[in-house]
Amino acid sequence: MEMMPVVGLTQAVIITKSTRQAMTEPSSNDTDDERSGLSQVESAMAALQKAMEGHTDWLSDLEREVITGAKTSADISAGLVAHSEWLETLERWVSSCVRTLANFGAQPLDSASPSASMAPDITSSVMARLEVSTVMSWIADAAAVDVGPTVSVTIATRDRPRLLRRAIDSVLNQSYPRLELVVVNDSDESETDRLLAEIDDPRLRVVRTPARRGPGAAYNVGLGASIGDVIAFLDDDNIMHRDWLRSIVWAFSSFPEVHALYGARINEDAGAQAGVRSGMLPSLEFVRYDRRRHERANFIDRNTMAFRSHYRDVLYNESLKAAFDWDHSLRLFAKTPPLALPVVSCYYRTVLPGRVSDDPEQPGSVRLVRARAHTSRPLKVHVHTEMFPVISETYIGEDIAALEASGAIVTVSALEDAVSRAENAPVCRLDVDAAIEEAQPDVVLMHWATHADVNLPLMERHNTPFACRVHTFDVDRDLVSHLLAHPLCVAVFAHPHHLSLLPDGVQPLIPTVGAQTIIPESTSPRDLVLSVSAGLPKKDFPFLVDVMSELPEFERKIILARSNGVLDLPQEVVELAAARDPTIDVMVNVPRSQTIAEIARASVLVYTLAPTSTMGFPMSIVEAMLCGTIVIAPDRSEAHSIVGDELRTYHDGADIVRHVREVAKEGPRLEASREALRQRARRHREPAELQRLHDALRDGLTAWKLRPT
């Protein structure tokens, strides 16, 4: 701190005092007036002197305080430097603790930040660690391990000859002798070649690859070159535990039903970041296997894995620059769940430069693998509806069947039980929250946009992504836009003929009819006039009854299902038909299999709709087409897009009566129309269509997981 201004001011005060004394000394030549003036000046100067002396004392005190403050500031500055060093040490220690605890909760290996994978299971992890010494002691000293299968170990290396030599020695010095070591040399320099050429051991085979293909490609080369019965790996910077291969052989011999396993590892410094030591001591890492946990975060290192050779076709993803071992283990363990073997597999080094785990592409690769994790095993879909199982809502059951046929695991819940229950329906739960909590689905599928909108709080409560199928009565642009914008929405589907009425982003999807729905052979002759529908007012039943009463020469049936919310309507139709024409047969809540049998012997299916009602994609029309039954429907663009050229349209009741009588007289040409309907309807049963919903949910979920947060 600069002190000169204070010193200079003190000196100025002293000089001023001397000058004043010289100026006020009396002279013999002074007059009385002059002496009187000098006396006044002297008094003023005396007052000034007194004030300046006090100011000088104040300045002296200030000077001492400034000097003391400067010393204190220097002490504080030194303290801050020490405090900064302490904070850095604390940060490293906290990071180490986070990474150690994260191993209990399955944090991604080699990640600097904790994951939100699962709550730590400390008890299980501690117990697993206690098992390690017991199992290792048994295998090393008590177990009889026959020298049987050959274990192939692959090391992929690139330009690290000094580290490589110790890794190779750790494999060749295993307590289990029957092994082969495949070293895949992906190096640029020649020192690695010289090192490998110096090793004289028939168990060592070297495979040269074009340099810089990447670690995933190098390990795939090793898999292709391996000829052993069991496959294992070791990175070139790690050291294999002497009894690891013996432990692998013991495990596969003791548990013949096991085809893959993983063990523990000893981590040099779990808190090290970018190869810089954190100060932690080496630690044991081992977590029991849990698929859900594994998909959220990696806790299984490549160096700890082994599997039987018939799974060598599960290759590494060469497009991934990091986290490729996580991706590989997810796909492998989806095929064969692993045994968690409490045995140390390797000594895992972290205080080294240039590790793959420190690759700048690591975060992006981790995010990509996590987003795709569900694609390596059956998709878990929870179907949540307003009511289920409903005879009239057969498309819901068909969706469930299509998902299951595609390999999905499906669970079902509803807000209320159906008043007309469908046959052979899957179990449906009404305790929705508990059902979702137990199912832990990847995605929830809801039918009807209005139902999905009301149940958004349910999705938010469980933080579960959802998809929705829009239906006829809720084709609403604003409503669907609201669903699409929700952060948990992965997809919205609608009938193709409704897309023009909905916002961009809605995917077209037609209803399907799976193999479990039997379409019977049609009978001949066919003289039944049939109507099949849900018991809803929009079907315009008074109009339908009037039309059927004009066709007394034909057998006529109306099949309808009782629907939640309009329970009395079927009875009203029964009474209406009885009053208008008792020969019209009205049947309520007929099982679907019986309904399709009636469709198969019908001449025509009459589909009526109130003029102001929107048309959807009626399953009864699809079933009629599959049976070769002529369809008579309103002259709507939707009806034309569903049925095609063979559609018979009406504007009034007279059109329907005319169509029915013309069909009865058409003869050979009619069979060509029926076959055209069957051919068009087969798209609803094609494998690609049956798979489409499953794949759309899977891909939508992947894209949703990759969205920026």
Query: Per-residue DSSP letters for 391-447?
Result: TT-HHHHHHHHHHHHTT-EEEEEEEEE-SSBPTTPPP-BS-HHHHHHHH--SEEEEE
The average pLDDT across 15-38 equals: 50
pLDDT at 80 over 80: no
Please, what is the Cα angle at 63 between 58 and 66, to 5 degrees?
Answer: 125
Residue reference for tokens 């190098």 = 218
Domain ranges across the chain: 1-19+44-105, 122-376, 380-508, 528-684
In 3D, which of 350, 309, 305, 310 has the Cα closest to residue 328? 305
For residues 4 and 253, give the distance between their C-alpha atoms in angstroms, rounded to a whole number: 88
The average pLDDT across 555-566 equals: 91
In 3D, which of 703, 681, 528 has the Cα closest to residue 602? 528
Average pLDDT of the chain is: 86
Q: Quick: pLDDT tens for 562-609.
A: 888 888 999 999 999 999 999 999 999 999 999 999 999 999 999 999
SS3 613: coil
Same CATH topology for 122-376 and 528-684?
A: no
The answer to which of 284-288, 406-410, 437-441, 659-663 has the lowest mean pLDDT is 284-288
- What φ, ψ does residue 204 adopt, rounded to 5°? -95, 130
pLDDT at 25 over 70: no
Identify which has the larger pLDDT, 182 or 57. Answer: 182
Question: Is residue 180 a contact partner of residue 203, using CB atoms and an 8 Å limit?
Answer: yes
Q: Quick: pLDDT tens for 625-653.
A: 999 999 999 999 999 999 999 999 999 99
For residues 5 and 618, give the distance between their C-alpha atoms in angstroms, rounded to a whole number: 97
Specify the pLDDT at position 58: 59
For residues 612 and 593, give the distance between their C-alpha atoms in angstroms, rounded to a whole number: 31
In 3D, which of 114, 12, 1 has the Cα closest to residue 63? 1
Identify which has the larger pLDDT, 515 or 95. Answer: 515
- What φ, ψ does residue 256 adopt, rounded to 5°? -65, -20
pLDDT category of residue 16 using cuts at 50, 70 and 90: very low
Radius of gyration over every alpha carbon of the chain, rounded to an integer in angstroms: 42
Give the number of other CB atoms < 10 A from CB of residue 481.
15
Give the number of other CB atoms < 10 A from CB of residue 313.
9
Residue 210, preceding bond cis, omega within 30 degrees?
Answer: no
For residues 324 and 321, give the distance between their C-alpha atoms in angstroms, rounded to a whole number: 7
- Amino acid occupying residue 593: S
Q: Quick: pLDDT tens for 437-477.
A: 999 999 999 999 999 999 999 999 999 999 999 998 889 99
For residues 706 and 709, give the distance between their C-alpha atoms in angstroms, rounded to a whole number: 9
The pair of three-digit structure tokens given for residue 308, joined into one six-digit string: 């039987």
Q: From the centroid of its chain, how far is CA 311?
A: 26
For residues 677 and 643, give the distance between their C-alpha atoms in angstroms, rounded to a whole number: 7
SS3 337: coil
pLDDT at 29 over 60: no
Q: Quick: pLDDT tens for 312-341.
A: 999 999 999 889 999 999 999 999 999 999
- Amino acid occupying residue 463: N
pLDDT at 7 over 90: no
Question: What's 608's DSSP letter?
Answer: -
Residue reference for tokens 């987003």 = 371
For residues 95 and 99, give the distance between their C-alpha atoms in angstroms, rounded to a whole number: 6
Which residues are within 8 A (CB) of 282 and not within 5 positions of it... i.e. 6 or more apart? 266, 267, 268, 269, 347
- Sheet architecture: strand order including 466-469: 409-417, 380-388, 443-447, 466-469, 489-494, 507-508
Specify the pLDDT at position 582: 96
Q: What is the pTM of this model?
A: 0.78
Specify the pLDDT at position 5: 40
For 400, 615, 621, 647, the CA distances from 509, given in Å and listed in that order, are 14, 15, 16, 21
CATH class of the 528-684 domain in this structure: alpha beta
pLDDT at 278 over 90: no
380-508 CATH, one of 3.30.230.10, 3.90.1010.10, 3.40.50.11930, 3.90.1150.10:
3.40.50.11930
Residue 389, preceding bond cis, omega within 30 degrees?
Answer: yes
For residues 380 and 374, give the distance between their C-alpha atoms in angstroms, rounded to a whole number: 9
pLDDT category of residue 105 using cuts at 50, 70 and 90: very low
Q: How far apart are the first and last CA of the chain?
A: 50
> How many residues comprise the chain?
709
Identify which has the larger pLDDT, 389 or 1. Answer: 389
122-376: in CATH 3.40.50.10470? no
- What φ, ψ does residue 581 adopt, rounded to 5°? -160, 100
Question: Is residue 620 a contact partner of residue 533, using CB atoms and an 8 Å limit?
Answer: yes
Residue reference for tokens 């604390």 = 90
Helix (H) or strand (E) holding 532: strand 528-534
SS3 194: helix
Q: Quick: pLDDT tens for 211-248.
A: 677 889 999 999 999 999 999 999 999 999 999 999 99
Please, what is the Cα angle at 502 between 499 and 504, to 5 degrees?
Answer: 85
For residues 298 and 329, give the distance between their C-alpha atoms in angstroms, rounded to a whole number: 9
For residues 563 and 279, give the distance between their C-alpha atoms in angstroms, rounded to a whole number: 69
- Amino acid occupying residue 334: A
SS3 151: strand
The pair of three-digit structure tokens given for residue 309, joined into one six-digit string: 């050779």
The pair of three-digit structure tokens given for residue 231, joined into one six-digit string: 């496959």
**Beta pairing partners, 508:** 494
